[in-house]
Structure 1
Amino acid sequence: MLGEYLPARLNSSLIAIAAAMVAGQPALAQDNATIAPPPQGSQSVADSDIIVTGSAIRGVAPVGSNLISVGQDTIEKTAPVNVSQLVNTVPSISTAGSVAQGENAYSYYSPQIHSLAGSSSNTTLVIMDGLRLPGGGTQFAQTDPNIIPVSAIQRVEVLADGASSVYGSDAVAGVVNFITRRTFDGFEANAQAGFADSYHNTNFNFIWGKKWDTGGVYVAGSYSDQSELKNRDRRFSSLGDYRPVGGTNTNSYQCSPATIIAPGVSGVFLSPGATTTVPNIQANAPCNNSVYANLLPSQFRANAMIKVTNDFSDKFTVTAMMNYNRQETHNASGPGGLTNAAAFGPGSGRGGQINPFYQAPAGAPGATQQTVTWLALLPDGNYGEQESQSDSIYSTAVAEYHVNDDWTLTFSDAFGWNRSALNTVNGFCSACALLALNGTAQLSGSTTATNIPGQNVIALNLPLTAANALDVWRPFDGTNRTSEAVIRSLYRNNSENTNYNTFNQMKLDLNGSLFSLPAGKLKIAVGGEYLWYEQTQKITGSNNTGPTTTGSNFRVYNYKRDVKSLYAELYIPVVSPDMGIPLVHSFDLSISGRYDSYSDVGSTTNPKFAANWEPVEGVKLRGNYSRAFVAPPTAVIGDPTQGYLYASGSVGVNGTQIAVPIANYPDVVNIPGVQCDATTCTIGTPAIQGMRRQLGGGFSNMTPQKGRSWSAGIDLAPRFLPGFTAAFTYFHNKFIGGVSSPSPSAIVNSAGLRNLLTICPQTCSPAQIDEFANIANGATVSGAIPPQVYFLIDQSSRNALNLTVEGIDGQFNYRADIGELGSFVIGTGFTYFTKFRQNFGGGTDFSILNTSGYNTTFPSVRFKNRAQLGWAKDGLSADLFWNHTGSYRNWISTTVAPIIVNSAGNPIGGGDKVKANDTFDLHLQYEFQGESFARGWQIYVDAQNILDKDPPFYNGNTNGILGGAWGYNGFVSNPIGRMVSVGLRIRM
């Protein structure tokens, strides 16, 4: 892999490398010299036709920037199931080291550069062959590069610099460009199967192509099937009580049979037969429910792509591509349950609400009513599932007209359509359980409270009888008295969130030379672009009155946007090698700029200035400055006709425990029964419930997001040391007004966000709750409102986040042929952050360097590295990779060691130390030699995490994927363990 971390050295050398990659040949000395070029790969591509990421000018590498290119050799030696796994080998990608399976909750499948925010603050542009990809997912219409078959990829280029002056919105942190093969002749197929403890996957991809004198056609496709991984199959994800390993007790009071709180009795009865209680604190929670859920969802994906290119004359060329992708994930749900629900017995005076199965706890036999917390643990263990589906259709057409030998006019069109759905199938129906427990759909058992806020809708199931009541006092082991009909009703909730994204991008570019300077031709690219988006979100779910078959709500959100753009780039060669100027072997300048006009958020202008200086041959100094822009995702603005609700936001019950600093919220100590230590009180427990809202950015008057960046670096390719290349880049990136939904930890610990939490020591009034939920303007509440609401926390999307990030990207590679011993390669690539500061709302800056969890959508771990040691001889090769993530601090809200804050409420220390993570991968490969029919075929064994090392313990749940679990950091760690794959690649 690191054999192809190529610095953007001299323009001529980079173009040669790019041309070699396009041709399918070894890229100079960077690829494994013993790998014979496939017989079908040869083609001729002129330097002037090469377009490299970061520059609109043909034949010119991006001036002032470091370009990392991951090519065919890396693809073979990574044996990726999908392109996300391939990109995750680049340390500058935020998710490097994580598992590439399932949808990332914060960026869909889209890679992020330098951890520069995430979620709705996506600052990395992901493109294919220089054109945008269709948006997808059920949140922010981000891209899924995995729609591209791995077999169609020629190389992946990562440009970690601001690039809005060339590409427009989103390219604040940089660009990831997936470049597909231009043509292909022959047939190649790759099949592999992988196995780990309680986990497996299979993968098949192919490409077939035919070339002719004026062009060619190829068809590529891939199929992959990755199994689920259950929490119970990994100890670190299923302990429940993590105190023995330095964590917290994540167990629940949701048990079967129920735990009980009786009026007038302090504490909780841990079962109906209990004669004594325990204090009602999280540390005493007895039931480990993590064993029922999945750590990873199963995932299936199939895609196909056809690409045709033809020269209709020596001046006119047309290339067309069409791609289809289908993917599904299936994530088995764990059991649902009730928390603090009222149940009434004989003598309570509640008439038809008296549950015929009522049982007073043994320690309070006279209790005529009680509050129960219960887990609906069924004998068959079938609790429904959460599934996602995605269908994508993507096509591009590029027509190039060579006006003369110097000027080219290019028209490009990219069209994409995506349908993404996230569905709950046969999920737990809390309203159904409540109706069978106390005759209402209310936790409190109120027969007068409405179930749909803002409407007078009351669901009742009266009187309760043996036929329609729920027995929570006995387990479902043959002694439970609940009827079969009621048991079936418990898992009858279905929900659907379907998004339709359509876009069209049209570009017209003119590329050529204005005139000649002493150092060479002054080149220019000018162009215009028109881009439009349409997004429709359709959401169906429960209305809290019973099963969704009889009580559902349905919402539709529609968004549109169009963008008109003009851009230009100028390449100025100032000094060339043949001018013979001392200490200035070459000197180049680049100036580019772009104007974008958005139909919904206004206009923006973004320039970039860059320079290369080569004092002597093989040593290049480079630098650049740029401004960039990210348009807020249309879906996160919210629908004003619906109270600014949006698909991934909601108003409902808070489901997270929050450690609230007493110094910031003195009233928190006055909440009845709240558990406090010397500095904090914990809310969000079963006894201290509250409400959370996450409305769209229109509610908070959201504005566009801006970026300011510069970088400086050096590239080395010394003539006295053939085979050695190195590149080091110091980057500075400022992100201003990032759209974010602030985490509870950020809210309670940051002075700029402190007003977003309201404490109600005597419970919040109905008027407060209605105003908080924005019901008067069309918003609705999801789920039942707790009988006592003690706090209101506002996590609505807003321009809350400002980041200043600095660090070093570095890579070096040395390859040497040692005669009979074969060829050797050693190299490494790393990202090291030197600064990671942020503030909220323009408040005081504070550092989150080398932490994870304070921001729930992206980590800020200081150091990542991937190193390679390889050997090859006579078709046999062995490559050992070392993956390192440095030690860091856990700053999630559930950390054991409290986060230390200053007088302004900003964090300055504390948190749990998370150990460094070191894993090793090994790739063994043999390529058949000689003249036999199998020439060029490869057999290989790929072993990831060969020492089967568990990820470092992390006291929290990043929920970075559909699934997720407590005990490890899904942003930077892989939970699968040792994964061994065997494969065969054939070429004809």
Structure 2
Amino acid sequence: MSAAALAAALMSAANAQAQTSQASSAPPAVAQTAPEAEADRPANPAPVVSNDAPGAQDIVVTGTAIRGVAPIGSNLVSVGLEAIEKTAPVNLSQLVNTVPALSTAGSLAQGENAYSYYSPQIHSLAGSSSNTTLVIVDGLRLPGGGTQFSQTDPNIIPVSAIQRVEVLADGASSVYGSDAVAGVVNFITRRTFDGLDANFQYGWADHYRSKSGNLIWGKTWGTGGVYVAGAWTEQSTLLNRYRSFSSLGDYRAVGGSNNNSFQCSPATIQVTGVSSGIVPSGVFLSPGATGTVANTQANAPCNTSIYNTLVPGQGRGNVMMKVVNDFSDKLTVTYMLNYNRQKTHSPNGPGNLTNAAAFGPNSGKGGQINPFFIAPAGAPNATQQSITWLATTPDGNYGEVESQSDVIYTTAVADYKINSNWTVTLSDAFGWNRSALNTINGFCTACAMLALNGTAQSSGSTTASDIAGQNVIALNLPLTTANALDVWNPVGSNRTSPAVLRSLYRANSENTNYNTFNQIRLNVQGSLFDLPAGPLKVAMGGEYYWQSQTQKITGSNNTGPTTTGSNFRVYNYSRKIKSVYAEAYIPVISPEMDVPLAYRVDLSAAVRYDSFSDVGDTTNPKFAATWEIIRGLKVRGNWSKSFVAPPIGVIGDPTQGYLYASGSIGTNGVISVPTANYPSVVNIPGAVAANTNNPCTMAVAVCQIGQGNTGLRRQLGGGFTNEVPQKGRSWSIGVDFTPQFLPGLVVAGTFFHNTFIGGVSSPSPSAIVNSAGLRNLLTLCPSSCTQAQIDSFANIANGATISGSVPPNVYYLIDQSSRNALNLVVEGVDGQFTYSSDLGNIGRVTIGTAFTYFTKFRQNFGGGTDFSILNTSGYNTTFPSVQFKNRAQLGWALDGISLDLFWNHVGPYRNWISTSVAPITVDGAGNPTGGGDRVAAGNTFDLHAQYEFGGENLTRGWQLFVDVQNLLDANPPFYNGNTNGILGGAWGYNGFVSNPLGRLVSIGARIKF
């Protein structure tokens, strides 16, 4: 991401809107490089707020530790306050999701909780536990949040407190340490504020509402000031059934697959035992069915998506106080305190049972015989059944999932001027985050099993332990009409007792995550001596950072309701980091030297050393140069090494065999295994040719094993696999053209190259069986794995435990433990064109566009063969690699009225998720080479209309606006899959790059005193 991406994208969302009149237009955001002499400054620098106190021009610069020096060789973008204000974003994610270079550009900024895009991601350079974009506030780190990977949430800061956003799309670990591989997003808050500014807006779409308010009040005095800023938002829940593209179920009519299931009410039935004759094959679609259908996805009859939530409802409130004061001409102290609370709410759909045993008369099962048992009409002599059932209820209340995040964040910065050249700065940032993800009155699978066959086992076994490693067996015998479950009759005629029906939705779980951090930094900077082109400036310093994370998880132990049968686990992680760094700014040629074709030349060099208490140490340098050939024409470039430390929550708890919250050891179901890579797969009992019931042979390309959950999967933390920091190497070269002869024109282009080595990932089964570097992670046991193999695999000796019961026969072991598995090479171009001109009586006209275009996106797992995923989405479940995104703007402003039209474009790409209809072709090593479904280009238009009151009365500066997103109410391009990495993602659209709301109309007002 560069000025090409952000200046036109954020500016495209704001710049023309800011041109409300000739007298009060907001200047466009522009890329800044080295500081220039006053006479050489651009005509349109990043704006400074007029009501800030003296000293507001003390610039906090992103990407460098040297005050007053923008990063050399990089495309730093600064979007000023007036431009940000006039976009009226609900939160900061909505603001930055207009940037084409972000992985989630165009997606909905609502419902983030646990997954990859809790914070911005530049250039799709991995996600999840391989976060490569550093998000900071005023140059300091934020507390982690969520219930998995400790992602930072910039939305804890009220929008009204933001003065500008600076984005640097280059490796910056030489300055900031971990995470800054793809770049840095720095949200810079106002220094001071005087007066009152409040804005409110209300938005609506089909079956959706949004309300928000932002305000700031402040008071300044001669040596500083204080202000309080706050924000409040409410965004409603959107259910699947209100959008046709997410609730079709069977998508074959639109070129997709049948996403229905056999989970129906009443149940679908496979007969597994008869009193006489032959057991019929196939599935009876109801107890009254006289014949069966093949047990294939194409025949699945029931659409359960209509019960699901498309977008969780979200509410957020936050408040921030900031105090700054100059205690003398040498000492300035700044203190900030922030509190945030966020909640999400998502109603559950009905629970279900899959392939659960049920016993009838003449089965010989005694007390396990269900009194409501009905043999299918086509198999009246059936005595045993395998039931697949949807647990609908008369009231339609199936519980809910809710999350809550509470954050306390504070910073203190003391600047002391030693003399006119040297300054020492002591900074301290402290943060605490409590994130909880809870299920309330969810479906109790064990309760349903106990009422169906008298045990908590889907097989109906009365001897298998319900808790692995313990001899605990829950029974509900004998089954009677008072305690049994009727799955053979629908709601209305169902014979289940009210008490049993109520017990089905009594499962509760809680995942509470506590993150705490403290960052202390001492920085000394100043000028060493003068060179012919100016002073050589340096910065040096050290940093100490500690972080702790505690995860408390409560859930079912598989013996019944969680009120009487639950488990509780606590995971503890911690980390300490010691760092030192140094940076130099070297002016080589200045304008005063009058060198032909070298108006200005600047160099910089930086290096940082970080020592981690858990994953070793790393050293990361950066070198950069800017060559301004003539005034307004610059060529820039840089090279850097950067890194990402594995999140501490992914390292795992060493006292529990390196288990961690999102990992587990337990049973695993069907996986597809290439026979060429694993010849012994043909000897696995029950192995069949993929998507058929035919026996597996060497003539079959892919075999499926694990029917009936006969495999074990482990996902332990990175401490088990000796994870090390994830490494990045990047370089970029760019050109900026801002000609003096045509003010208002900005043309910029940047070619970027990023190599990401050893990205932390839990490889998918598909990646394991098809990647040469990971194939050893699957162990096949044709004669059943031994107990010793199972205990060793589960790391029992070191404190790990198995979740659930172990099947009598385990035929494969698959290791999905977190490891340094992912390697990426990403190249592309960020481009920008913007032109703004005052045409007198006609008004001010602005046109612009910004785009990101990837030219290379290659990866491998575990050091295997490289393959391209360019212009695809779905192969990696935590980030897309769509080739082209663009956002263009046409704006007009005159006498306080402004109109702006935006065009958002996502180019066509291929769906490489495993559910694509068109097969994904692979090479001899199993790596993808082509195929997949073609996903159409996405095009939406946004319209913003605004009026700002003039004159000299009380309402001067007040604004009224109407904002319409997705003006033509276009549906997202059809995507045959589900982007599970986004909370609320649903089948039928790609939540990474598309917004499911449809036309969203918002009206708002801003008042100023």
TM bracket, shorter-chain basis: over 0.9
1:148-227 equivalences under 5 Å are 148-227=157-236
| Cα 1:359–1:774 shift into 2, 3 Å | farther
Q: Aligned equivalents of 2:284 and 2:95: distance in 1?
A: 52
In structure 1, the partner of 2:971 is 950
Aligned with 1:925 (options 946, 965, 976): 946
Aligned with 2:432 (options 403, 417, 438): 417
In structure 1, the partner of 2:659 is 645
Q: Aligned equivalents of 1:766 and 1:882: distance in 2?
A: 61
Cα deviation for residue 641 of structure 1 reads 2.7
In structure 1, the partner of 2:283 is 268
Instruction: Choose 305-314 or 962-971, whichever is displaced more.
Output: 962-971
Tell me if the contact between 1:751 and 1:906 (Cα under 8 Å) persists in the aligned partners. no
In structure 2, the partner of 1:130 is 139
In structure 1, the partner of 2:49 is 24
TM-score for the superposition, normalised by structure 1: 0.95
Q: Aligned equivalents of 2:974 and 2:549: distance in 1?
A: 40
Cα deviation for residue 615 of structure 1 reads 1.3
Instruction: Choose 94-103 or 9-18, whichever is displaced more.
Output: 9-18
Specify the code of the residue in structure 2 equivalent to 1:616.
Answer: I
Tell me if the contact between 1:518 and 1:575 (Cα under 8 Å) persists in the aligned partners. yes
Q: Aligned equivalents of 1:188 and 1:20: distance in 2?
A: 24
Q: How many residues align?
A: 970
TM-score for the superposition, normalised by structure 2: 0.93
Cα deviation for residue 358 of structure 1 reads 1.1
- Consecutive unaligned residues of structure 2, counting only runs of 5 or more, are 1-10, 16-27, 273-278, 693-698
| Cα 1:18–1:981 shift into 2, 3 Å | farther
Q: Aligned equivalents of 1:598 and 1:768: distance in 2?
A: 34
In structure 2, the partner of 1:103 is 112
In structure 2, the partner of 1:363 is 378
- SS at 2:30's partner residue? coil
- SS at 1:752's partner residue? coil
Q: What CA deviation, in whole Å up to 9, does each residue of 1:227-252 have, x standing for no partner?
A: 01101111111111111111111111
Specify the code of the residue in structure 2 equivalent to 1:252.
Answer: S
Specify the code of the residue in structure 1 equivalent to 2:329.
Answer: D
**1:745 aligned onto 2:766:** yes
- Percent identity over the alignment is 73
Cα deviation for residue 215 of structure 1 reads 0.5
**1:114 aligned onto 2:123:** yes
In structure 2, the partner of 1:34 is none
In structure 2, the partner of 1:60 is 69
In structure 1, the partner of 2:297 is 282
Q: What CA deviation, in whole Å up to 9, does each residue of 1:150-184 have, x standing for no partner?
A: 00011111111000000011111110100001111
Q: What CA deviation, in whole Å up to 9, does each residue of 1:521-557 have, x standing for no partner?
A: 1111111111111111111111111111111111111
Tell me if the contact between 1:659 and 1:893 (Cα under 8 Å) persists in the aligned partners. no
- SS at 2:449's partner residue? helix
In structure 2, the partner of 1:855 is 876
| Cα 1:758–1:975 shift into 2, 3 Å | farther
In structure 2, the partner of 1:579 is 593
Tell me if the contact between 1:149 and 1:221 (Cα under 8 Å) persists in the aligned partners. yes
Specify the code of the residue in structure 2 equivalent to 1:880.
Answer: L
Cα deviation for residue 964 of structure 1 reads 1.6
Cα deviation for residue 650 of structure 1 reads 2.0
Query: What is the root-mean-square deviation of aligned Cα atoms in Å?
Result: 2.1
In structure 2, the partner of 1:892 is 913
In structure 1, the partner of 2:650 is 636
Q: What CA deviation, in whole Å up to 9, does each residue of 1:720-764 have, x standing for no partner?
A: 211111221111111111101112332333222233345567776
Cα deviation for residue 407 of structure 1 reads 1.3
Cα deviation for residue 839 of structure 1 reads 0.8
Cα deviation for residue 651 of structure 1 reads 2.7
1:447-526 equivalences under 5 Å are 447-477=462-492, 479-526=493-540
In structure 2, the partner of 1:307 is 322
Specify the code of the residue in structure 2 equivalent to 1:614.
Answer: E
In structure 1, the partner of 2:862 is 841
In structure 2, the partner of 1:69 is 78
Tell me if the contact between 2:289 and 2:377 (Cα under 8 Å) persists in the aligned partners. yes
Cα deviation for residue 20 of structure 1 reads 6.0
Specify the code of the residue in structure 1 equivalent to 2:314.
Answer: Q
Q: What CA deviation, in whole Å up to 9, does each residue of 1:605-642 have, x standing for no partner?
A: 11100111111111111111111111111110112332
Q: Aligned equivalents of 2:597 and 2:700: distance in 1?
A: 62
Q: Aligned equivalents of 2:969 and 2:870: distance in 1?
A: 29
In structure 2, the partner of 1:91 is 100
Cα deviation for residue 11 of structure 1 reads 2.8
Q: What CA deviation, in whole Å up to 9, does each residue of 1:126-163 have, x standing for no partner?
A: 10000000111111111010000000011111111000
In structure 1, the partner of 2:725 is 704
Q: Aligned equivalents of 2:397 and 2:701: distance in 1?
A: 39
In structure 2, the partner of 1:7 is 31
Specify the code of the residue in structure 2 equivalent to 1:130.
Answer: G
Tell me if the contact between 2:357 and 2:385 (Cα under 8 Å) persists in the aligned partners. yes
Tell me if the contact between 1:108 and 1:137 (Cα under 8 Å) persists in the aligned partners. no
Instruction: Choose 72-81 or 402-411, whichever is displaced more.
Output: 72-81
In structure 2, the partner of 1:729 is 750
| Cα 1:250–1:461 shift into 2, 3 Å | same
1:241-640 equivalences under 5 Å are 241-263=250-272, 264-477=279-492, 479-640=493-654
Q: Aligned equivalents of 1:891 and 1:712: distance in 2?
A: 31
Q: What CA deviation, in whole Å up to 9, does each residue of 1:76-127 have, x standing for no partner?
A: 3432111001011111111111100011543252111111111011111110
| Cα 1:297–1:684 shift into 2, 3 Å | farther
Cα deviation for residue 903 of structure 1 reads 1.0
Q: Aligned equivalents of 1:374 and 1:311: distance in 2?
A: 69
Q: What CA deviation, in whole Å up to 9, does each residue of 1:784-827 have, x standing for no partner?
A: 55677665443221110011111111112111000100001111
Q: Aligned equivalents of 1:624 and 1:874: distance in 2?
A: 44
Specify the code of the residue in structure 1 equivalent to 2:717.
Answer: G
In structure 2, the partner of 1:33 is none
Q: What CA deviation, in whole Å up to 9, does each residue of 1:403-432 have, x standing for no partner?
A: 122211111110000000011111111011
- SS at 1:506's partner residue? strand
| Cα 1:197–1:758 shift into 2, 3 Å | farther
Q: Aligned equivalents of 2:576 and 2:972: distance in 1?
A: 44
- SS at 1:7's partner residue? strand
Tell me if the contact between 2:113 and 2:147 (Cα under 8 Å) persists in the aligned partners. no
1:662-677 equivalences under 5 Å are 662-665=675-678, 671=686, 675-676=690-691
- Consecutive unaligned residues of structure 1, counting only runs of 5 or more, are 26-39
Q: Aligned equivalents of 1:682 and 1:192: distance in 2?
A: 56
Cα deviation for residue 662 of structure 1 reads 4.7
